[in-house]
């Protein structure tokens, strides 16, 4: 269809028949395309609000002067979908013509009356609950729409189109298989007849890619691999004559942005695999941890910028890219920015991928065993999280960003689950600020090595937060002209792991807090103007919309597995005419790493992933007599283990669903253990 435009227009020109009015419009959905190209107003039609991912709403009925009156207009529970400890609720609801569309961590989608919250239709994904290749919580980051369809990606590797009126499946395309290590967690992007989807699997030795599908039929139009094949651009950044690039990860975790004038699609690429072992993959390892621009129609490579060369720290670029226009030295410039796990915002010229403000290559510490890169890019400006670990008892080595490590654990900050992770970064053209959520967490990095097996974890090491090490967050306004901090809040909880915010022409930033509070801040000063307790982990990026002249603010409150917030299955919507009052606060997230809860006396049977809390040991703490044999049973859906924090002391090895293993504790002492693939799961055994 699209190639017709190119063929027909020259023909018409040649025949002298062309007048502007008679140009046939071949856009498959001119209305959605127009909304995607426009500033965000009444409707919120794609995950990032429009093609820029700015999350800047021009609505201003709710503003700094009246936001104190904001109350709940409605709250709807989504029938238990995505409710439980293995899930995160990270999707932004979409709104079009008074109807809201939302997707949960179980890939179930719902349409609701955006005024009243009444459920209009339901799509239950029925995804296999035994999917064993979910890296970081069961999550779906959102939807796209166009041509009368709602699009979503699923953890089982399918991209699905639903009829907007009924929720019936229009088409379903497997872009990969989950048992090969793949899944989809990113919100797709729709524009001009094409649905673009990312893919996950950076921890499973996959070959990342962007997939373009025909929106009408679901047919795959093209794929662009984030790991180059032989002779392709970037192939010389991998060791010659090896196939390490073919399992080098480089997932796409989030929604692309698109510039229709330049004809380019932009996206961020995740970490290199195996995550913590660079010993066999000498070179910069393109296009791991990079920003990439492609021709939006053909998928042809145009430019890239690599944030971290030869990544061994799990420093994904996982937050969605943001397009913005600015003036630098009196000249109008087209910018693109992305907040990294490194704690920096990378600000580039989106026409060519060159730094707009300045990024310096600086020498960094070396470890020849890891084949570390000689230099790394340092953006001019401020980082939003600390970039050096503080010394902790029991660790000889505390390092700063880009500190190498081998088999002896090294404390490093930011960790690979720190800085800005999957969370979006809004931009306000009024303030010129980016709003950057960050996680402050130190990890102990160590390389262990791994053998690649299709569909199994392939990370080559570990990064666990030391027991009792603090975990918190930052929320920072970064000036887009200088990349410097305009204001910063230290937050009690981690907020960079998938929580989010949105900014409005009413001068407000709305953001959730993992302890259930929903906040409104003054976008210019950062001052808190309003807060409301939703009763569930309030992490998802909110949206702003209007129905019948009334402005609403919506947030999905269902908790976030990475941020440790309370789970739920609710959508909350607020307006100035709202009448609903706050709910009772849910349990707050942990602020130090390690097992929590009361000590169970004499428990010699420990269940992993029981009671729908996938990433947990139960009981997490037990006191036993020396000589007791403890049985560990995996009651979850995915493989787990229990492994002593003292390296090599004891481990159950990988336990498949339903499998058990016993460990005998003969000597008195304090035992801490964790799950190797999920380094935020901790347990404690006190042996007397
Ligand atoms: Cu686990």
> What is the band of 19 on the pLDDT scale with cuts at 50, 70, 90?
very low
How high is the pLDDT of residue 399?
A: 94
pLDDT at 282 > cutoff 70:
yes
How high is the pLDDT of residue 645?
A: 87
Active-site residue flag, 314: yes
Q: Residues 303-316: pLDDT tens digits?
A: 999 999 999 999 99
Helical spans, DSSP H, in 451-517: none
How high is the pLDDT of residue 15?
A: 39
CA 290 to ligand 1 center in whole angstroms? 28
CA 269 to ligand 1 center in whole angstroms? 25
How high is the pLDDT of residue 179?
A: 94
CA 172 to ligand 1 center in whole angstroms? 30
Q: Cβ(495)–Cβ(417) under 8 Å?
A: no
CA 363 to ligand 1 center in whole angstroms? 36
- CA angle, residues 399, 446, 592, in degrees to nearest 5: 65
Q: What's the 3-state SS for 3-45?
A: HHHHHHHHHHHHCCCCCHHHCCCCCCCHHHHHHHHCCECCCEC
Nearest to 413, CA basis, from 436, 433, 434, 395: 395
Nearest to 186, CA basis, from 139, 230, 146, 116: 139
pLDDT at 5 > cutoff 70:
no
CA 658 to ligand 1 center in whole angstroms? 13
* Cα 549 versus chain centre, distance: 33
CA 135 to ligand 1 center in whole angstroms? 10
Could you give the count of Cα atoms lying within 13 Å of 468 in the half-sphere of its Cβ? 6
pLDDT at 111 > cutoff 70:
yes
Match 């000597």 to its residue by tokens: 667
Q: Cβ(339)–Cβ(384) under 8 Å?
A: yes
Q: Cβ(519)–Cβ(67) under 8 Å?
A: no
Rounded to whole angstroms, the Cα distance separating 405 from 388 reads 14
Q: Residues 643-670: pLDDT tens digits?
A: 998 877 999 999 999 999 999 999 999 9
As a whole number, mean pLDDT of residues 64-82 equals 98
Percent of the chain, pLDDT > 90?
85
591: left (phi over 0), alpha (psi -120 to 50) or beta: alpha
Rounded to whole angstroms, the Cα distance separating 163 from 217 reads 12
Question: Residue 94: in which H helix or E strand, if any?
Answer: strand 94-96
CA 559 to ligand 1 center in whole angstroms? 19
CA 637 to ligand 1 center in whole angstroms? 10
How high is the pLDDT of residue 85?
A: 85
CA 615 to ligand 1 center in whole angstroms? 6
> What is the band of 12 on the pLDDT scale with cuts at 50, 70, 90?
very low
CA 523 to ligand 1 center in whole angstroms? 39
Instruction: Give the torsion through C-alpha atoms of 18, 20, 25, 26, to 10 deg.
Output: 50
CA 657 to ligand 1 center in whole angstroms? 11
Nearest to 425, CA basis, from 531, 496, 361: 496
> 217-226, 256-265, 361-370, 459-468: lowest mean pLDDT where?
459-468
Q: What is the DSSP letter of 10?
A: H
> What is the band of 611 on the pLDDT scale with cuts at 50, 70, 90?
low
* Other CB atoms within 10 A of residue 429 CB: 16
How high is the pLDDT of residue 6?
A: 40
How high is the pLDDT of residue 612?
A: 66
Tokens for 312, please give them. 């061994």
Mean pLDDT of the chain: 93
CA 636 to ligand 1 center in whole angstroms? 9
CA 678 to ligand 1 center in whole angstroms? 5
CA 41 to ligand 1 center in whole angstroms? 43
Active-site option among 275, 314, 539, 641: 314
Nearest to 58, CA basis, from 37, 45, 41: 41
Q: Residues 397-430: pLDDT tens digits?
A: 899 999 999 998 899 999 988 999 999 999 999 9
How high is the pLDDT of residue 210?
A: 98
> What is the band of 103 on the pLDDT scale with cuts at 50, 70, 90?
very high
Rounded to whole angstroms, the Cα distance separating 146 from 602 reads 58
> What is the band of 24 on the pLDDT scale with cuts at 50, 70, 90?
very low
Q: What's the 3-state SS for 557-592?
A: ECCCCCCCCCCCCEEEEEECCCCECCCCCCCCCCCE
CA 383 to ligand 1 center in whole angstroms? 31
Q: Cβ(450)–Cβ(274) under 8 Å?
A: yes
pTM, to two decimals: 0.92
CA 287 to ligand 1 center in whole angstroms? 28
Nearest to 210, CA basis, from 196, 191, 192, 221: 196
CA 646 to ligand 1 center in whole angstroms? 17
Helical spans, DSSP H, in 291-441: none
Tokens for 281, please give them. 């993959």
Rounded to whole angstroms, the Cα distance separating 138 from 152 reads 14
How high is the pLDDT of residue 4?
A: 39
As a whole number, mean pLDDT of residues 146-169 equals 98
């Amino acid at each position: 269809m699209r190639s017709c435009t190119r063929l027909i227009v020259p023909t018409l020109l040649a025949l002298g028949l062309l007048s502007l009015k008679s140009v046939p419009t071949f856009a498959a959905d001119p209305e959605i395309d127009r909304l995607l190209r426009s500033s965000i107003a009444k409707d919120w039609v794609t995950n990032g609000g429009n093609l820029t991912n700015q999350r800047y709403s021009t609505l201003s009925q709710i503003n700094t002067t009246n936001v104190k009156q904001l109350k709940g207009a409605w709250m709807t529970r989504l029938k238990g979908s995505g409710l439980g400890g293995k899930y995160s609720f990270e999707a932004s609801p979409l709104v079009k013509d008074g109807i809201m569309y939302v997707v949960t961590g179980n890939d179930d989608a719902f349409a609701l009356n955006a005024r009243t919250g009444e459920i209009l239709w339901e799509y239950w994904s029925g995804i296999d609950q035994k999917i064993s290749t979910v890296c970081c919580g069961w999550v779906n980051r959102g939807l796209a729409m166009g041509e009368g369809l709602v699009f979503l990606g699923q953890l089982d590797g399918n991209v699905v189109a639903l009829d907007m009126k009924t929720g019936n499946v229009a088409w379903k395309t497997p872009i990969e298989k989950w048992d090969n290590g793949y899944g989809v967690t990113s919100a797709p992007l729709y524009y001009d007849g094409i649905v673009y989807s990312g893919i996950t699997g950076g921890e499973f030795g996959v070959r990342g890619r962007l997939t373009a599908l025909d929106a009408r039929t679901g047919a795959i139009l093209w794929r662009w691999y984030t790991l180059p094949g032989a002779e392709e651009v970037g192939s010389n950044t991998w060791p010659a004559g090896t196939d390490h690039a073919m399992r080098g990860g480089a997932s796409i975790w989030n929604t692309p942005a698109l510039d229709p004038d330049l004809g380019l699609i932009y996206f961020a690429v995740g970490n290199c695999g195996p995550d913590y072992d660079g010993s066999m993959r000498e070179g910069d390892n393109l296009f791991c941890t990079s920003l990439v621009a492609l021709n939006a129609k053909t998928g042809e490579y145009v430019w890239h910028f690599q944030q971290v060369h030869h990544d061994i720290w799990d420093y994904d670029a996982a937050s969605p890219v943001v397009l913005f226009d600015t003036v630098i030295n009196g000249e109008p410039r087209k910018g693109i920015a992305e907040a990294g796990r490194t704690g920096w915002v990378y600000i580039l010229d989106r026409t060519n991928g060159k730094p707009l403000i300045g990024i310096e290559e600086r020498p960094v510490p070396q470890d020849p065993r890891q084949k570390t890169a000689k230099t790394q890019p340092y953006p001019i400006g401020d980082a939003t999280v600390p970039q050096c670990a503080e010394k902790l008892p029991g660790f000889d080595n505390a390092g700063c960003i880009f500190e190498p490590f081998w088999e002896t654990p090294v404390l490093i900050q930011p960790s690979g689950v720190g800085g800005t992770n999957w969370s979006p970064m809004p931009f306000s053209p009024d303030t010129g600020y980016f709003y950057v959520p960050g996680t402050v967490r130190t990890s102990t990095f160590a390389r262990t090595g791994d053998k690649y097996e299709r569909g199994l974890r392939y990370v080559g090491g570990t990064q666990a937060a030391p027991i009792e090490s603090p975990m918190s967050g930052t929320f920072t306004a970064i000036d887009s002209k200088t990349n410097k901090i305009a204001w910063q809040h230290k937050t009690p909880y981690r907020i960079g792991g998938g929580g989010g915010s949105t900014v409005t022409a009413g001068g407000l930033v709305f953001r959730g807090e993992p302890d259930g509070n929903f906040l409104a801040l003054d976008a210019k000063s950062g001052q808190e103007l309003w807060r409301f307790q939703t009763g569930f982990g309030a992490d998802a990026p909110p949206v702003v919309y209007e129905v019948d002249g009334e402005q609403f603010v919506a947030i999905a409150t269902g908790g976030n597995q990475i941020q440790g917030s309370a789970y739920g299955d609710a959508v909350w919507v607020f307006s100035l005419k709202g009448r609903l009052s706050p709910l009772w606060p849910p349990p707050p997230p942990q602020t130090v790493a390690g097992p929590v809860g009361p000590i169970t006396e004499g428990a010699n049977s420990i269940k992993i992933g029981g009671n729908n809390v996938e990433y947990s040991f139960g009981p997490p703490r037990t006191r036993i007599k020396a000589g007791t044999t403890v049985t560990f049973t995996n009651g979850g859906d995915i493989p787990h283990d229990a492994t002593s924090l003292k390296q090599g002391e004891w481990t159950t090895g990988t336990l498949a669903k339903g499998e058990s293993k016993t460990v005998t504790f003969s000597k008195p002492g304090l035992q801490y253990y964790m799950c190797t693939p999920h380094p935020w799961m901790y347990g404690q055994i006190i042996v007397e």
